[in-house]
Amino acid sequence: MTPTSTTPETIALDAVTFEVAAAALQSAAEEMGSVLKRSSYSPIIRDMDDFSCAIFSASGELVAQADYIPAQLGAMSLVVKSILARWDGRIQEHDAYICNHPYQGAMHLPDVNIVIPVFHDGALIAWAGTAAHHIDVGGVNPGSEGPELTELFGEGVVFPPVRLSIAGVENEDLVAVMSENFRDPLSTLSDLRAQRASCRLGEERVHELIALYGRDVLLTVMERMLDTVETAVTRLLEQLPDGVGEAEGSLDDDGRGGDPTRIHARIEKRGGRLHIDLSGCDPQTAGAMNIPWASARAGLVYAVRCVIAPGLSSNDGLLRTLDITAPQGSVVNPLPPAAVSIRHNSCQRLADTLIRAMQAIWPDRAVASSTVSFFSFNVGSTHPRTGRASVMADVVGGGTGATPTGDGIDGVDTYMSNVGVMPTEVVETNYRIRVRRTEFRPGSQGRGEYNGGLGLVREYEILDHPQHATFYAEQTDARFAPAGAAGGEAAAPTRITVFDPDGAVVDHPMKTSRVLPAGAVVRVETAGGGGYGDPAARSGELRAWDARAGRLEPGE
């Protein structure tokens, strides 16, 4: 068997040593993120921050994480556990593992995990890992996503936990396979190597802490970090009233233009535990809206942290306070080989639904809903200078919901995501695409005593030659627009408009993959956030500011 260490039960650990060492592990994860961001090749990582970094215990529990993308961080420990299950007895120092398999702990295929074991004196004591969104990992569509896809096999190359490096030497056979299956292998392979370098830094920092404190002290710190979060969440729950809350939300369709897909959550709080029941969700969908279990689990962690313990460091200790029911074969726990490539839109709806279910138990914690539209635009393009194939992946956020104390935030990526809009200069210097405008969307906010944040308007023009585009968004159905709270109004729904080269509007589904001719324009207008409180109670000062700042629709 692979040698693993155990934490001695007799280690005495004073509070100062624990706090300093725990902070050092947290800092190591954040430093890993800085290395990845500055070493990566693709704009979606270096400019949009679509990545995450963490350190894990020898058994695979997430101990310390850098707060980048909650949708990735709540899932990564399942990848480490899959590596342990597959490679038990054969894990060696300086290996590096790659995994993107949604049914073996990962999320969707573009989110690739690179994880390395950390050894000390021949014993496995920890893991360092990263997850990053890659612009293309093969499949039917550029960008490896497609709402219309029905099976995982069409979404790209699937990596179960296999070795990218073997005892420190890159696996040339695996690299050769990647090079022949990815549309932009230069970008993807460069980003994978940046991830591996980030993990090596995490390994170095763990060794430095061992040199400073000793192995047994560091292992004790890791275990206590998990215990501390578990205890803190338990105590916070115990201070809240017991009760039951339910909420439901809907996806516009199943990814293929079918009926809306129901997301339902029933949450019961008793003492220091939460019982979360997702059995009311619809069966898995025909299209790629399904949420693999790793992503659904991440949604649970995110929502509980937001409502119960927003200021608390997050690790797998939080999961110890949850009892979860999520039947297999549902949209939140599909059976393979169901397609999952645009699962993030469903994750966002799940997070919103979970938060509203908890607010039904504790109304004093209610806030308005944020947008879950998550407009994504993937294009198989060419580089303006070199002419080589390139793939663009952009995301456009919207408004957050208003709160009892203020307006929502304008134009951000909400809930479980945290990526930035790609800078116009980056788009136009890397792809044959022009960004015609990016601006806030007046009138998109839900009205209330406090208004929701504004959505965004962005237009993309296809240049020079036809290009294969995949784009999709949620909340294009006004029935499912971001809801208000405490009497606040819902926000405007999202709109996607396509124009042909002559400026005529083209009929199209809201989720689609198609070839667009040169001169075509895609415009997205994303939803704002819901409003909080009676709109009639909005102060005159805030109303005047709305008018001065151009936040209202023309004519208001």
Q: Read out DSSP for 31-79?
A: HHHHHHHHH--SHHHHTT--EEEEEEETTS-EEEE-SS-HHHHTTHHHH
Residue 66 has pLDDT above 50, yes or no: yes
Cβ neighbour number for residue 329 with a 10 Å cutoff: 10
Instruction: Kindly report the average pLDDT of the chain as a whole number.
Output: 95
In the block, tokens 């039947």 appear at 327
For residues 2 and 375, the model is more confident at 375
Tens of pLDDT, residues 159-189: 999 999 999 999 999 999 999 999 999 999 9
CA distance 49 to 198: 14
- What pLDDT does 10 receive? 56
Residue 8 has pLDDT above 70, yes or no: no
Residue 45 has pLDDT above 60, yes or no: yes
pLDDT bucket at 312, cuts 50 / 70 / 90: confident
Does residue 157 contact residue 172 with C-beta atoms inside 8 Å? no
Report how far Cα 282 is from the mean position of its chain's Cα atoms.
22
- What pLDDT does 231 receive? 97
CA distance 40 to 371: 29
- What pLDDT does 1 receive? 42
- What pLDDT does 9 receive? 53
Question: Measuring CA to CA, how many Å separate 198 from each of 73, 194, 204, 326, 436?
Answer: 16, 6, 10, 34, 36
Residue 460 has pLDDT above 50, yes or no: yes
Q: 8-12, 457-461, 510-514: which has the minimum mean pLDDT?
A: 8-12
Q: Which amino acid does the sequence have at 543?
A: R
Look up residue 197 and give its two tokens.
């370098």
Residues in Cβ contact with 512 at an 8 Å cutoff, skipping those fewer than 6 apart: 147, 148, 470, 471, 472
Cis peptide before 466 (omega within 30 of 0): no
- What pLDDT does 176 receive? 98
CA distance 79 to 68: 18
Residue 138 has pLDDT above 90, yes or no: yes
> What percent of the chain has a predicted confidence (pLDDT) above 70?
98
CA distance 143 to 423: 19
**Element spanning 130, H or E:** strand 123-133
- What pLDDT does 220 receive? 97
Look up residue 486 and give its two tokens.
């405490």
Q: 175-184, 201-210, 411-420: which has the minimum mean pLDDT?
A: 411-420
Mean pLDDT of all residues in 320-324: 97
Q: 66-80, 124-138, 142-156, 236-250: which has the minimum mean pLDDT?
A: 66-80
Cβ neighbour number for residue 118 with a 10 Å cutoff: 22
Mean pLDDT of all residues in 227-234: 97
Pairing of strands 273-277, 322-325: parallel
Q: 341-345, 472-476, 499-503, 550-554: which has the minimum mean pLDDT?
A: 550-554
Mean pLDDT of all residues in 489-504: 98
Residue 411 has pLDDT above 80, yes or no: yes
pLDDT bucket at 7, cuts 50 / 70 / 90: very low
Mean pLDDT of all residues in 403-429: 95
Task: Find residue 460's DSSP bridge partners.
Answer: 435, 522
**What strands lie across the sheet with 375-382, from one edge to the other?**
389-396, 375-382, 467-472, 512-516
DSSP string, 162-195: EEEEETTEE-HHHHHHHHHH-SSHHHHHHHHHHH
CA distance 93 to 199: 13
Pairing of strands 51-57, 62-65: antiparallel
Within 450-529, strands assigned E span: 455-462, 467-472, 495-499, 505-506, 512-516, 521-525
Write down how long the chain is. Answer: 556
Mean pLDDT of all residues in 540-551: 96
Residue 6 has pLDDT above 90, yes or no: no
Mean pLDDT of all residues in 100-107: 97
